[in-house]
Each structure stands twice: as C-alpha cells, then as structure tokens.
C-alpha cells in the first residue's frame, strides 16, 4: 500500500475519492488548496469548500491540511487569464490551473513531503498501454468526462496519479457518498470560473484589471455595421451583442482584432473551416502526426481530423476554434496530446 495525498476540493467527487483510497488500504491524507482570496460563489474556491473538505476528512478519520497557493494561482492562472482577454484571446483558466497548480506545484509537494501518489476526484482514467506507456483516458461516465482538461499530463504525473471515481458514474459517486454519510453527497457541482462571481460577472472582473476597449463591428468586406462596448469581451462564435447588428439575419463573431478595436462578423457558414492552426503542444509521450480524433471543448464531440505540423485538418468542416482554447487529440478514448488554437 502507498502513502497517498488526496486533493480535496470540498466537492462530492474528491470526497469519495478519498474514501475509496482509504478503503483500498492506503495511508491517506487530505489536502485542500487555498487558491483564490477574493469572492467566489462557484462552489470551488469558497471558504465553505475548505470547511466541507475538513469535515469530510474528519468523518473518514484522516488528517487534513490546507496549502496556500494563492500567489501561485494569481501568477499562473489569474494574470494570464486577464492578459489573454486583453489580447483578444479566449483562455481556459481551469486548464491552466491543472497545468501549473494541481499537477505541477502540488505534484512536487507530494514528492517533497514523502508521499508516493496523488489522487483527485476528476472523472477520467489513467491507463497503461501494452508498451507500458501511461495515458489519460475517458471516464466511464461520458457526460462527466474531464480528460480534455487533463490532456497536458505527462508520464511522470500519470504514473503517480489515481483517479478512483473515473470508474464510476456520477450517480454512483453520490450514492457512495450518501452511504458513507458524507456531507457533500448532495452538494451541487462547481460551475464556471471560480474567481468570477455570478453576481458581478466576467466584464466587471476584467474592468477592474484592464481598460476595456469600445470597438466597431464590421462585415467580411470591412463595412461598418455597428458598435460594441468591449472587444475584449468577444469570443469567436459569439452571437450576444453582434447577432443582429447591421441586419435581421443572425451574425456571429468570426474574428477579433483588439489593436484595431474591430470585431468581424459573418453568417453561421462563415464560422466553418477546414483547418485550425495550433501551437504549444503537449504530449502524453512522443509527438504525433497523422489521423486523430480532435475535441475542441470540454464536453464537445470528438471529430475526425489529421494532425499535420501546426495544423489540425478536419475531415469535415468544423466551427472555428477561438484562439486560446485547447484542441485535444485522442486515439479512441485515450488522450495522446493537445495544443492551443492560434
């Protein structure tokens, strides 16, 4: 049996993950990361979540500690999120939190404190190929699968990672929590970005940190159709604020240019492309080129494509991927790598 550190967010999945690792005979210690010091109502970074995690640990009879990583979270997640919006990109802060905080800083803390393994409550699975290569794989519960946001993990991290609830459906997780008498059994799942409140929203959050730029809306020929309050708030494919500007037909944002304060709009057909440029690759093992299944959102459908250099070439036209978003590559249900749309 191993010494296992369980990352406990205060939600039902990580609560059951801790219980399952304990049932398997491991020496288990729970830890909760204090990441965001501001307001939070998402059910992820709130003070109440730390209390829920501590009480679950007490119920299970395991030690519980809180690691303050708020400075690192601000440096690696919040500041890049703001900078990306300022550049007209569409960032995914949860992905960057996994990349830099949970599976880098925390992974190193696991090793430094003499633990052998890290366990989390993510709905995904770690599998090993016949050649001994570790890969992230889709969860049993397809509706809750989180392999997309864990695509950046490499061999060192995967080899020391346990994802016990990845073999269960969400209903089974909640049933197990209820059987164990855990206070998180009926707790709602966390939603949205943990450092942006539903009350104030993304625009207020960004306005406190950067100057938002009023802009103009143009068609593909450069004809001005109207105005928009902030170009930094627009993402590719967006209809809100641009849907009917300049005419009755629905329009979508197909390009955002912050330096010129311009949003270009077009029809639904204008959103479809055959090629998506990508950069900043990460791989489970070795770089790959050739046919893949590519997924462009956390719960999107994987689509047939060919990976060639810095391009994803779609078998069928797909919606444009907003620059800054991840494109994740699968071999069947196993992640082989990912990249960021450029």
Q: Up-side HSE of residue 96: CA atoms within 13 Å toward CB?
A: 23
- pLDDT confidence of residue 45: 62
CA–chain centroid gap for 151, Å, is 9
Domain boundaries, the chain: 3-122+163-179, 212-267, 271-341
226-236 pLDDT tens trace: 899 999 999 99
- pLDDT confidence of residue 247: 60
Buried-exposed string 194-231: b where 16+ CB fall within 10 A, e elsewhere:
bbbbeeeeeeebbeeeeebbebbbbbeeeeebbebebb
Mean pLDDT, residues 41-51 taken together = 72
Classified by CATH at the fold level, domain 3-122+163-179 comes out as Rossmann fold (3.40.50)
Q: Is 94 a catalytic residue?
A: no
| % of the chain residues with pLDDT over 90 | 87
Cα distances (Å, whole numbers) of residue 155 to 20, 126, 285? 24, 11, 7
Confidence of residue 44 (pLDDT cuts 50, 70, 90): low
Architecture of the domain defined by 212-267: Roll (2.30)
144-181 pLDDT tens trace: 999 999 999 999 999 999 999 999 999 999 999 999 99
92-147 pLDDT tens trace: 999 999 999 999 999 999 999 999 999 999 999 999 999 999 999 999 999 999 99
Q: Is 44 a catalytic residue?
A: no
Cα distances (Å, whole numbers) of residue 23 to 19, 27, 62, 119? 6, 10, 12, 13
Q: Is the pLDDT of residue 260 over 90?
A: yes
Q: Up-side HSE of residue 166: CA atoms within 13 Å toward CB?
A: 21
Task: Flag the least confident range among 95-104, 248-257, 328-337.
Answer: 248-257
Active-site residue, from 44, 45, 94, 194: 194
Per the prediction, the chain carries an average pLDDT of 94
- pLDDT confidence of residue 214: 95
CATH of domain 271-341: 2.40.30.10
Confidence of residue 5 (pLDDT cuts 50, 70, 90): very high
pTM for the whole structure: 0.93
């Amino acid at each position: 049996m191993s010494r296992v550190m369980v990352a406990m967010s205060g939600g039902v999945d990580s609560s059951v993950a801790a219980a399952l690792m304990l049932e398997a005979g491991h020496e288990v210690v729970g830890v909760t990361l204090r990441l965001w010091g501001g307001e939070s109502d998402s059910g992820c970074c709130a003070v109440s979540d730390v209390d829920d995690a501590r009480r679950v640990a007490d119920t299970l009879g395991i030690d519980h500690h809180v690691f303050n990583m708020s400075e690192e979270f601000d440096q690696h997640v919040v500041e890049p999120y703001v900078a990306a919006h300022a550049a007209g990109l569409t960032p995914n802060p949860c992905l960057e939190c996994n990349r830099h905080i949970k599976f880098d800083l925390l992974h190193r803390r696991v090793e430094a404190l003499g633990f052998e393994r890290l366990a989390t409550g993510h709905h995904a699975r770690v599998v090993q190929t016949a050649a001994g290569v570790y890969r992230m794989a889709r969860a049993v519960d397809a509706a809750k699968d989180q392999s997309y946001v864990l695509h950046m993990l490499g061999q060192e991290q995967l080899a020391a990672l346990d994802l016990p609830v990845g073999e269960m459906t969400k209903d089974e997780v909640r049933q197990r929590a209820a059987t164990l008498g855990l206070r998180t059994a009926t707790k709602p799942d966390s939603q949205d970005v943990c450092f942006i409140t539903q009350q104030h929203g993304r625009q207020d959050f960004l306005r406190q940190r950067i100057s938002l730029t009023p802009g103009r809306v143009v068609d593909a020929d450069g004809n001005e159709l109207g105005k928009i309050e902030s170009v930094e708030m627009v993402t590719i494919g967006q209809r809100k604020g641009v849907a009917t500007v300049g005419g009755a037909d629905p329009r979508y944002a197909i390009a955002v240019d912050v330096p010129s304060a311009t949003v270009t709009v077009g029809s639904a057909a204008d959103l479809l492309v055959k090629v998506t440029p990508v950069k900043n690759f990460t791989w489970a093992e070795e770089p790959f080129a050739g046919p893949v299944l590519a997924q462009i959102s956390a719960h999107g459908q994987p689509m047939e494509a060919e990976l060639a250099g810095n391009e994803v070439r779609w078998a069928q036209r797909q919606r444009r991927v907003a620059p800054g978003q991840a494109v994740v590559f699968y071999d069947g249900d196993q992640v082989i790598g990912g990249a960021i749309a450029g």
